[in-house]
Amino acid sequence: MGSCYGDHKNYRDMAVVIYGGAPGSGANYSGVAPGQLLKEEDKPDDKPEDKPEDKPDDKPEDKPDDKPEDKPDDKPEDKPEDKGDNDSANQSEFDRKLLAEHNKMRTDPMSFIPDLERMVEEYAGNMWRLVQINGQNVRMMSNEGAPAVTEFIEFLKKQKGVQPLTLSDTIKPFSCSHVADQGPVGATGHDSTDGTSFGDRIKGLMKAGYGVGENISYGTTEPREILIALAVDDGVPSRGHRTNIFKEDW
């Protein structure tokens, strides 16, 4: 799993999660998560032509020239060893928190039910619920309202735990490039602003033998809120985001 978080022109924040799995596990990408939007519109109409360079902002390059001179008494900085595709220094605190929420939901699905039952009460018969984000009260719009949450609760009661995920330095740049592309101009969806499809955008991963899926969140800052909204999958009949979260092949 590779994730990236950044600012978004229209929805304040966005997060991209790309899942990688065994060859043949297939691609799944099913659009934005409307239940997380802070505005009623699903997608802005203006689509700029210029595409920012696809450079991840939060993956520092190794600088071999920055090594201190050999001094026996000096203690080198504590840096994690390179662990290949697994959890490394290139992953942010947000990545680690979102991974922890993913793995909690994957390995112990029913542990989320108490929070979801409180969500049902927050709707109070409306298509929105009042939540606090960054200390402010915000109306969180939805397409289905409380029924989508109750449907997910019933799903969790039957869902068996699946294996946890790990963070990947190989996948992360593909998530970050999409954040860098969409965030500044306020675009949404899985295609790049120049029209490049998700499949073409992640060709590098496909060549490496991955099965690939992608979830995108707009407008929510907290990893737990992001994961719950994606898993509830309000307004997405296929529940494709939920499928990605619980897929055993990743």
3-state secondary structure the chain: CEEEEEEECCCEEEEEEEEEECCCCCCEEEEECHHHCCCCCCCCCCCCCCCCCCCCCCCCCCCHHHCCCCCCCCCCCCCCCCCCCCCCCCCCHHHHHHHHHHHHHHHCHHHHHHHHHHHHHHHCCCCEEEEEECCEEEEEECCCCHHHHHHHHHHHHHCCCCCCCCCCCCCHHHHHHHHHHHHHHCCCCCCCCCCCCHHHHCHHHHHCCCEEEEEEEECCCCHHHHHHHHHHCCCCCCCHHHHHHHCCCC
By CB atoms closer than 10 A (0-12, 13-18, 19+), residue 85 is: middle
Structure tokens that stand for 202 in this block: 């992640």
Rounded (5°) CA angle 22-27-31: 145
CA distances from 110 to 132, 154, 156, 194, 245 (A): 24, 10, 6, 41, 14
- Please give the pLDDT value at position 206: 72
Nearest to 106 by CA among 63, 46, 156: 156
Portion of the chain with pLDDT greater than 90, in percent:
50
Structure tokens that stand for 136 in this block: 């402010």
pLDDT over 60 (residue 50): no
With cut-offs at 50, 70 and 90, classify the pLDDT of residue 89: low
- Please give the pLDDT value at position 172: 92
136 strand-pairing partners: 133
pLDDT digits (tens, 9 = 90+) for 169-189: 889 999 999 999 999 999 999
- Please give the pLDDT value at position 133: 66
With cut-offs at 50, 70 and 90, classify the pLDDT of residue 87: very low
pLDDT digits (tens, 9 = 90+) for 213-232: 999 999 887 899 999 999 99
Beta-carbon neighbour count of residue 79 at 10 Å?
Answer: 8
Task: Label residue 42 left, alpha or beta by phi (over 0 means left) and psi (-120 to 50 means alpha).
Answer: alpha
For residues 76-80, average pLDDT: 36
Portion of the chain with pLDDT greater than 70, in percent:
70
pLDDT over 90 (residue 68): no
Q: Is the pTM of this model over 0.85?
A: no
User: What is the chain's mean pLDDT, rounded?
Assistant: 77
